[in-house]
Amino acid sequence: MKKSELPQDNGALTSLTKEVCYVKNDEGKYETELSTGWDAKKVALEEAWKEIERRRIDAHHRVKSGEVSPIVYFMEVKLMDLTVLAGYTNFYKWQIKQHCKPSVFVRLSDAKLNKYAAAFEISVDELKQFK
């Protein structure tokens, strides 16, 4: 793509960041140039954030209905999956799956809850008294 053709469409991240792209200059040599983005990328990012919000709301309802423990909600809020959370807590993924069950969660020790709270950057009370 030529330098003059580089998209500069404003998006949700325009004020925060720019993307480095390789473009051809007038002499036909590649160089880097900053782009604020383009519409297709903007639409994709907006859809991704809508899906993340939908998953967060769904997790909130599932915790409130007693279907899952608050761990599921905070995993969604912090954009974590089992592998990432296992890395932060040093629990095995199968253990985290068990801890996601409300009946198991209520019996977790303070030491285990502290690991989750640290990973989610919240207090143990916030984790236990989910609102």
Domain range holding 84?
Answer: 50-128
The tally of domains found in the chain comes to 2
- ∠ CA(18), CA(20), CA(24), 5° rounding? 130
- Please give the mean pLDDT across all residues of the chain: 90
Would you say residue 55 lies in a domain?
yes
> Does any domain span residue 43?
no
Residue 70 lies in a domain: yes
Q: What is the pLDDT of residues 12-29, one digit of tens each?
A: 666 677 778 888 888 888
d(CA 36, CA 44): 15
For residue range 47-87, list pLDDT tens digits in order: 999 999 999 999 999 999 999 999 999 999 999 999 999 99
- pTM equals 0.76
Mean pLDDT computed over 24-47: 82
Alpha-carbon gap, residue 53 to 18, rounded angstroms: 24
CB-based burial, 88-103: b 16+ in 10 Å, e otherwise = ebebeeeebeebbebe
My answer on whether 23 and 73 are in the same domain is no
Lowest mean pLDDT of 11-25, 39-53, 93-107, name the range: 11-25
Q: Do 65 and 17 share a structural domain?
A: no
